Amino acid sequence: MKLKRSGRLVDMTRYLMEHPNTIVSLTEFSERYESAKSSISEDLAIIKESFEAQGVGKLVTLPGATGGVKYIPYIKKKAAESFLTSLGQMLSSQERLLAGGYLFMTDILGDPFIIKEIGRLIASVYIHNDIDVVMTMETKGIPIAYAAASQLNVPVVIARRSSKVTEGSTVSINYVSGSSKRIQSMVLPRRSLSKGSRVLIVDDFMKAGGTIKGMMHLVAEFECLTVGIAVLVETGGESPKLVDRYLSLLKLGQIKEGTAVPIEIGNYFNYFREE
């Protein structure tokens, strides 16, 4: 289709946003809009400027004969801080306290807009780590895993507590739950990870880290590499953690009856690097 600049800008913005972390060649855009590459380059400069001014992402131009452009989602430090602060406030309501030191987060994890932002924060940290796949354990980590994966443009694999007929053959491991010290098992379909994949592990909540440790074992079992670990909420109480290096968006402190839930920003900004 032949389009004027204004029409091209709208369509290219949409296209790039729907294909994050993907190289689009200038030739592809040039043919799509029946426009000279020089015009396309000017369009991209305008989009780049807007994205960077808004702090929603970068456009990286790849040089060479096969030159192209890649939309890299990221978030600005200030926006990340303000999002985490308001998320922390939402979670600090006393009514959210449940037995066993857990927090009721189901409503927040059910909000696609919040989930998308959480995914964007996680993806912003790991975007340059050549992640091949995002892994999580059923159930609550799943939406977070998809939100991060869609920004990173990689697939999701889901570990489950027991093997299902719909998964085909599976690989199973046993692990010790860090908090309850019980032996549990975790399975992953044999077809789901190829050898050598670089894996980002994501989960909603981490106490001692037994489940995460289990996932790391499973990753190793498939001869893959755990490149990063990101959790939405870690608890501050349990120590020591079974996992050394992990990113947490929020940290839940020691709970006292009758006071607000003590939530603070986790170690996120130790990993975050402003672009």
Q: Which residues of this chain interact with its own copies, rule CB under 8 A?
A: 1, 3, 5-7, 9-11, 13-14, 17-18, 46-47, 49-51, 53-54, 56, 98-100, 102-107, 110-113, 115-116, 138-140, 142-143, 146, 149-150, 153-158, 160, 165-168, 189, 191-192, 205
Q: Which amino acid is at 186?
A: M
CA distance 184 to 211: 9
* Least distance between its own copies and beta carbon 30 (Å): 17
Q: Are 136 and 119 a contacting pair, CB within 8 Å?
A: no
- Comparison of 74 and 146: residue with beta carbon closer to its own copies: 146
Question: Residue 139: is the preceding peptide bond cis (ω within 30°)?
Answer: yes
* Least distance between its own copies and beta carbon 226 (Å): 18
Q: Which amino acid is at 209?
A: G
Q: Are 108 and 172 a contacting pair, CB within 8 Å?
A: no
Residue 59 token pair:
């456009």
* Least distance between its own copies and beta carbon 108 (Å): 9
Residue 201 token pair:
């592990």
Residue 150 token pair:
């869609």
- Comparison of 44 and 84: residue with beta carbon closer to its own copies: 44
CA distance 258 to 227: 40
* Least distance between its own copies and beta carbon 105 (Å): 7
- Comparison of 104 and 273: residue with beta carbon closer to its own copies: 104
CA angle at 217 for the pair 212 and 222, rounded to the nearest 5°: 125
* Least distance between its own copies and beta carbon 14 (Å): 6
DSSP state of 160: B
- Comparison of 253 and 270: residue with beta carbon closer to its own copies: 253
- Comparison of 110 and 269: residue with beta carbon closer to its own copies: 110
DSSP state of 21: T
* Least distance between its own copies and beta carbon 27 (Å): 20
